[in-house]
A and B are shown apart, each in its own frame.
Chain A
Amino acid sequence: SQQGEEDPQALSIQEGENATMNCSYKTSINNLQWYRQNSGRGLVHLILIRSNEREKHSGRLRVTLDTSKKSSSLLITASRAADTASYFCATWNSNSGYALNFGKGTSLLVTP
């Protein structure tokens, strides 16, 4: 079953602009993770934020987590054409049999 729900479904921006994707989930979590998928290939782990953390940075990525609203956001600053991909949030809950539950993803297109 889907736990995370990304918004928007698709996003188109120009190089240099910032891209923001949101994720909402339904039940309590231990951590939330963001992954990138290029053109139907394997997923690449980007960043993990634990339930007791509110914000995390990694290079041009900034993730926030609001457990009271059951939501997270991924910000990619100064986007590049190479950032074009699908981005998925995934929640991890020790009560869900330790399986990562993925949303359907946000498709990001960055044009030069």
Chain B
Amino acid sequence: EAGVTQSPTHLIKTRGQQATLRCSPISGHTSVYWYQQALGLGLQFLLWYDEGEERNRGNFPPRFSGRQFPNYSSELNVNALELEDSALYLCASSLHLDRATYYGYTFGSGTRLTVV
């Protein structure tokens, strides 16, 4: 069974540009979560999608947005990139939330975004 896949692995962008990160969940998982892991800050919750809808977002500005497609894959968009957006962006998937309480999340290997 394929795990959670993220692309690209690395992304270098210039300040002010837009970045698009992609995530494919494990087959059968309907929930997708995005986290930002900046150096020294631990994992910060960004967004949660389930059944195609945004269910919750963390304390991030609106230039962080995303969507979930009918096949449950997801995209994270970061507009007007700033230097401090440089981080490892991790995507995770889980079964529908009523079963997620008994299982953990499955994480992808992440996309390392560098803003120069």
Contact = CB atoms under 8 A, between A and B. Distances in A.
Nearest to B100: A98
B80 interface: no
Point out which of B33, B35, B101 has the most chain A C-beta atoms below 10 A from its C-beta. Answer: B101
A102 B43 contact: yes
Contacts of B55: 97-98
In the complex, which range does the number of interface residues on chain A fall in?
20 to 34
A45 B105 contact: yes
A85 to B, nearest CB: 13
Interface of A: 1-2, 30-31, 33, 35, 40-45, 48, 50, 88, 90, 92, 94, 97-105
Interface of B: 4, 33, 35, 40-43, 45, 48, 55-56, 58-59, 88, 90, 92, 97, 100-110, 112
12 contacts: A35-B107, A40-B112, A42-B110, A45-B103, A45-B106, A48-B104, A97-B55, A98-B48, A98-B56, A99-B45, A100-B33, A100-B92
Given A43-B90, A97-B48, A105-B42, 7 more contacts: A30-B101, A43-B43, A44-B107, A48-B103, A88-B43, A99-B33, A99-B45
